[in-house]
Structure 1
Amino acid sequence: MAMNVSTEGDEDEVMSAINTTPLVDVMLVLLIIFLITIPVAIQTVPVELPKASSEVNQTRPENITLAVDKDGKYYWDAMPVGSRDEMLERLIEVANAEPQPEIQVRGDLSVRFEAVGRLILDIQRAGVQKVGFITEPVQGN
């Protein structure tokens, strides 16, 4: 606790006013600490799972559609691709294009995930930054 001592005039008279500035500073710091830490301490992580619906995506002419049919065969804009090496070469060309087009992947419902996974791996290896998946909208939404 601090006291102000008057230096003017009468030296015998002492001012007995309490300096509350340090007290207010400490209280404000404590208030800020509590405001920051209490929500973190009592947070219970409410999780709402995403709904099974999709947004309408505008198909642009520069977008490239890659498809995987039920037999695991790859298609580049509806044209069959001979091998994965050929697909990788084309993807590298696309990755080097400026601006880089978006790759849209269409996978058949009954295809093994392995075939779609290989396609995604090739897209990643080529360095393509924009990848999207085309799905059917859920009925009733």
Structure 2
Amino acid sequence: MRRDPKRRQGASTGEPMMDINTTPLIDVMLVLLIMFIITIPVQLHSVNLNMPAGNPPASDVKPEVLRIDIDARSVVTWNGEPLAQFEELERRMSEQGARPVQPEVHLRPDRGARYAVVARVLASAQRTGLTKIGVVGSEQFVP
């Protein structure tokens, strides 16, 4: 008896097939997916909030504003007063940061000021606990 080279070896000898038929598995998974999609409840995209009624009382108290300017020569001024030492700035910032009601800090750097000085002032403000900081006059940096 001659062997046919095109014939599979396990087909006539009674050996089990080693390939898995995945068609029934895919059919079951698709049915489960469809059932899962159908049984999901419809999600509501609204959140119910109980909002207070009426108008809030008007506040006559204006917040205190501290102006920190950095000029083109990178000299730091506190409300118009030039500071000779950076430690003086940090001392004043720590005093303001320890207050129960912190003032607003308006930082106004000049376009010609060194970035290292501006970054140092911002880092000092963060380190001393000042949280209400705004950079004023940033439109000068837009070309």
TM-score between both structures, scaled by the size of structure 1: 0.56
Equivalent residue, structure 2, for 1:131: 133
- Which of 81, 106, 109 pairs up with 1:107? 109
Q: Is 1:90 equivalent to 2:92 in the alignment? A: yes
2:68 and 2:77 in contact (8 A); partners too: yes
Equivalent residue, structure 1, for 2:123: 121
TM-superposed CA distance for 1:28, in Å, is: 3.8
2:68 and 2:105 in contact (8 A); partners too: yes
Which secondary structure does the structure 1 equivalent of 2:134 belong to?
A: strand
Which secondary structure does the structure 1 equivalent of 2:77 belong to?
A: strand
Q: Output the CA distance in 1 between the equivalents of 2:94 and 2:138.
A: 29
Unaligned 5+ residue runs, structure 1? 1-22, 37-59
Q: Output the CA distance in 2 between the equivalents of 1:126 and 1:84.
A: 13
Q: Output the CA distance in 1 between the equivalents of 2:83 and 2:131.
A: 21
2:69 and 2:77 in contact (8 A); partners too: yes
Q: Output the CA distance in 2 between the equivalents of 1:87 and 1:98.
A: 19
- Cα distance change of structure 1 residues 31 and 68 upon mapping to structure 2, 3 Å threshold: same
TM-superposed CA distance for 1:25, in Å, is: 8.3
Equivalent residue, structure 2, for 1:29: 40
2:63 and 2:104 in contact (8 A); partners too: no
Unaligned 5+ residue runs, structure 2? 1-33, 46-61
2:67 and 2:78 in contact (8 A); partners too: yes
Letter of the 1:86 counterpart: E
Larger Rg: 2
Identity of aligned residues (%): 24
Equivalent residue, structure 1, for 2:22: none
2:63 and 2:103 in contact (8 A); partners too: no
TM-score between both structures, scaled by the size of structure 2: 0.55
Q: Output the CA distance in 1 between the equivalents of 2:106 and 2:115.
A: 16
Letter of the 2:116 counterpart: E
Q: Output the CA distance in 1 between the equivalents of 2:120 and 2:36.
A: 61
CA RMSD of aligned residues (A): 3.0
Matches within 5 A, 1:42-53: none
Q: Output the CA distance in 2 between the equivalents of 1:122 and 1:113.
A: 14
The total of aligned residue pairs comes to 91
